[in-house]
């Protein structure tokens, strides 16, 4: 009822009602007039009533336009607020999980021919949580399984024995939380004096996922060179393979490159 009263008290509604009443009134007067010609005052009254109706119609359309624009503006404001809230929630979530940040080892071969220096580098704007490193010596792993005295090793070993043997070729280090844009020196890798090849798989776990870093060293004319690539969520994020890095007989480099 209150909404109906507000509608009746609206200036546009009053103008429309007044114009309609005046139009009907002057039309009625013109209809009952006995004069062969409509008196001027009736004609002018009808004209003015028509103008009132036209003005009210224009005003009504203008008010509808303003209402539509106001509703559209409010809708856009709500959408912008929702988007900002979504972005804020995403940032809050990323600050807890680590977002798209990750870390990896920057590996440089020292002037000492059998030492590879390691520096743990972080990428991204968010800190990393619960970081754990697993460095797997691939040649040592193969050697451990080949020299195991049992035949049919995969079927004869229990799961516990299998993982014990697997971990003998691995180094596991729990780092904890890491701040963004930081570098952390790490214990270097000792490359063999009596071999020309050394391969590592480095798994770096964090709360937001895992990055896998493959590194292969080859000794060429007495000097070590390295090739490496890093996978994050099954996609390559970094890769470095020197043009003169040794290839297999089928012209393929390590990892089928």
* Separation between Cα atoms, residue 99 and residue 120, nearest integer Å: 18
The residue among 227, 157, 231 whose CA lies nearest residue 197 is 227
Domain parsing of the chain, residue ranges:
2-97, 102-256
Instruction: Give the HSE-up count for residue 76: Cα atoms under 13 Å, Cβ half-sphere.
Output: 6
pLDDT mean over 185-206: 90
pLDDT of 160 above 70 = yes
Cα dihedral: 137, 139, 140, 143 (round 10): 160
Name the pLDDT band for 81 (thresholds 50, 70, 90).
confident
Q: Which whole number is the average pLDDT over 145-158?
A: 60
In DSSP notation, 234-256 reads TEEEEEE--TTS---TTS--GGG
Average pLDDT, the chain: 77
Query: Which of residues 161 and 53 earns the better pLDDT score?
Result: 161
C-alpha distances out from residue 203 to 113, 133, 190, 227, Å: 25, 6, 18, 16
| Beta bridge mates, 136 | 170, 201
pLDDT above 70: residue 7? no
Strands of the chain, DSSP E: 102-109, 115-123, 128-137, 170-178, 183-190, 197-206, 209-220, 223-232, 235-240
Dump pLDDT digits (tens) for 214-243.
Answer: 999 988 888 888 999 999 877 888 888 888
Percent with pLDDT over 70 in the chain = 66
Mean pLDDT of 64-78: 79
Residue 55: helix, strand or coil by DSSP?
helix
> Pick the residue with more confidence: 142 or 215?
215
> What pLDDT was estimated at residue 4?
46
Count the Cβ atoms, other than its own, within 10 Å of residue 66. Answer: 10
**Residue 227, number of CB atoms within 10 A of its CB:** 20
């Amino acid at each position: 009822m209150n909404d109906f009263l507000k509608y009746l008290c609206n200036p546009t509604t009053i103008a429309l009602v007044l114009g309609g009443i005046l139009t009907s009134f002057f039309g009625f007067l013109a209809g009952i007039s006995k004069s062969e010609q409509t008196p001027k005052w009736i004609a002018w009254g009808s004209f003015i009533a028509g103008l009132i109706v036209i003005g009210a119609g224009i005003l009504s359309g203008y008010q509808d336009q303003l209402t539509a624009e106001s509703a559209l503006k409010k809708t856009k404001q709500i959408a912008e607020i929702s988007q900002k809230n979504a972005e804020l929630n995403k940032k809050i979530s990323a600050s807890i999980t680590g977002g798209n940040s990750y870390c990896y080892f920057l590996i440089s071969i020292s002037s000492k021919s059998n030492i590879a220096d390691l520096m743990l580098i972080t990428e991204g704007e968010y800190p990393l949580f619960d970081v754990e490193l697993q460095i797997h010596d691939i040649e040592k792993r193969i050697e451990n399984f080949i020299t195991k005295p049992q035949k049919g090793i995969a079927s004869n070993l229990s799961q516990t024995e299998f993982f014990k043997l697997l971990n003998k070729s691995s180094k596991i280090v729990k780092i904890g939380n890491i701040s963004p844009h930081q570098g952390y020196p790490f214990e270097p890798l000792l490359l063999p004096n009596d071999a020309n090849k050394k391969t590592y798989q480095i798994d770096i776990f964090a709360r937001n996922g895992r990055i896998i870093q493959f590194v292969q060293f080859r000794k060429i004319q007495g000097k070590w060179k390295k090739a490496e690539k890093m996978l994050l969520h099954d996609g390559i994020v970094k890769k470095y393979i020197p043009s003169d890095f040794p290839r297999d007989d089928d012209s393929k480099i390590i990892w089928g490159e």
